Chains A and B, each alone.
Chain A
Amino acid sequence: MNRLNLRTILILVILVTSLSVIYQNLRIQLILTGFTLFLLFSFRISKHKLHRLGHRLLSLFKLVLTILILQILFRRSGEIIWEYSFLMVTTEGLNYGLIASLRFLIIILVAGLLFDIPYYDYLLAFRSWKFPFEISFLVATIIHFVPIFNTQFKSSMEALQIRGIIMQNLPLLKRPVVYLNLLLPVLARAISEIKFRAISLELRGFRLYKDKTYLHEQKLSRLDLIIQFIALIFFLLLNLIKIIQL
C-alpha cells in the first residue's frame, strides 16, 4: 500500500493525542481509539510487526484494566449502579474510567507507532519543517532510545535464563535487586551504542549535502496533502466547538 509520509502521521498523532486529552467524552475517545488503530494497521505492513503489536497490547491490558478499576471505584458522583459496603460503582465513575483507560490506550498505541518508525525518517520530517538538525537528532535519538534499551534488556533477561536465574523463581524481595543490577549496564551500553550509531550514519555520508536524492521518490503525495488539510480543519473545528461550549 501507498505509505503515508511521516509528516502526515506526526500531524495525525498530534491531532489524536491533543483531542484525547481535551475531550472528556466517551464517544470521542472511542472514535479516536478506532482511528489510532486504523493508523497503526495502515502503517504496519508485515505480519511480524502485527504479532508484536498484539503482544504489546496483551501485556499492557492489565495496566489499562487497573486504571479502569481505580477510576470506577474512586468516582462517587452520578447514579449508583451497584453498591457493596464501601464499594460503589456509579455511572460517572464508569464513564470516566472508560475515558481514562481509552486515553491511556491511545497514548500507548501512538508511542508504539512512533517507536517503529526508522530513525532517519524523523530526521527528514523534522528537516522539512526546518527544525535545526541538532534538535531533530536529539528527538530521534530519544524516541529510539526506548526500543534499543528494550532489546538490550530482553537480551540480558535471556542471558540470565541461560545462567539458570529465572525471575519468576526468585523471592519477591530479590527481584528488584536483580533488576537494579541489570539496569546500569544496560543503560550504559545503550548510551554508548547511540554514539556508534551516529558515527555509522555519518560514515555513510549522512548530511553530506543539504539535500539528497531518493531511490524511490518520497514527495508528499496528494493523499498526504489532503489528509493533512482535513486534519487541520478538523482540529480547528473541534477546538472551536470546545471554546464555544465554555
Chain B
Amino acid sequence: MSSGIDLQGSFIQLLTDSGLPIGVAKTVWIPLPMLIIVAAVTVLALVSTWLERKVSAAAQQRIGPEYMGPFGLLAPAADVIKLLFKENMLPAKTDPWLFAIAPLMVFIPVFLSYLIVPFGQNMVITDLNIGIFLWIALSSIAPVGLLMAGYASNNKYSLLGGLRAAAQSISYEIPLSLSVLAIVMMSNSLSTIDIVNQQSGYGILSWNIWRQPIGFLIFWIAALAECERMPFDLPEAEEELVAGYQTEYGAVKFMLFYAGSYANLVLSALLVAVLYLGGWESPIPVSWLASLIGVSESTPWLQVIAASLGIVMTLFKAYLMIFLAVLLRWTVPRVRIDQLLDLGWKFLLPVSLVNLLLTAALKLSFPVAFGG
C-alpha cells in the first residue's frame, strides 16, 4: 500500500524549512482542513438540495428549476440569500434562549462528524482511533436539540413533532450501531481509514457490501430514518403536524435546520461509501493499473491522479446513494408512527443482531475472507 500524498506533512515541512518553529507550523495547519471541510460540506449540502429538486422534477415529469443559472444551479444560492435576508422573528411566548440554541444543537454535531470522513489515505482532518464511534456518539446529541426545539416553540404540533423525532432517532440508532459494529468486527478497528484499507486489494470485489449485504440494507434504512428522509419523515408529516418541530422557525434558524438535515444526508451517504462501498478505492485498483502500464506507485503525477480519483470516487458513491434516497422519497409513501416503531424494534433490531452473530461466526470460521 502506498501512503499517497501527505498534504499535512509537506505543508509543515515547507513552513519549517522557511524558518518557523514546528509548533507554529502545526498551528497554522490546523484551521486549514477545518475551513476547507466546512466550506465543502456547505457546498455539498447545497448541491444535494439542487439534486433533490431536479430529480423530484424528473420523477414527476416536470422540468424543475430552470431560469436561475444554467439548469437552475443557482436555486440553492437564491434559497440561502432569501433565508439570510428574512426577518429573524420570535413567536409569542416562546422560550428565547432554548429557541435560539436548538437549531445549533442539531447543526453542530453534524458538522463535527465530518472530522472522521476520509477522502484519501491522508485526506482526513484527524484519523481518530475511535473514528466511527465518534459519529455514533455525536449523532445521539441531535434528539436533545429536537426536544429543545419542540419545547421552546410553544406550539403543540412542535412539541409532538419534537417528541416523535427524538423517539424515531433513538430507536433507529440501535440497528445503525449494530450494523456498524459488524463492520468494525471485520476490520478490527474503529478508525475509518483502517475500515477502508481493509476493503482494498481486489477492487470492487473486496468491498464490504458483498460481505455485509444485510448490514448494508439495515444501515441504509436506519440512516434514512435518522435523517428523517421520506419514508420516515413523520416528524414533519405536514397533514398531521404542520411541519413538526420546525413549524415556528424561520429565517436563519430554519436555514440551520434545513442545512443540518441535508448535511446529515450527505454525511450518511459518505459513510455508506466508506463503510460498505470501499471509500476512496476505485472499482479497479489504481495500483494494479499502474503496474500494468509499468509506472512506479511513488511517481508524483500518479499520486496526484490517485488522490483526485479518490476524492471523486468517494463523492460519486455518496451522490449515488443520495440519488437513491431522492428517488425513494418520490416513490414510497410515508409510514405510520406505529409501523415505524414496529419496523425499528421488531424487525431491524433482531435482524441486525442476527447479522452481528453471523458475522462473528463467519469471522471465526473463515478468517481469510472476514478479517480474522
Decide whether A and B assemble into one complex. no
Interface residues of B (CB under 8 A from A): none
Partner-B contacts on A (CB < 8 A):
none
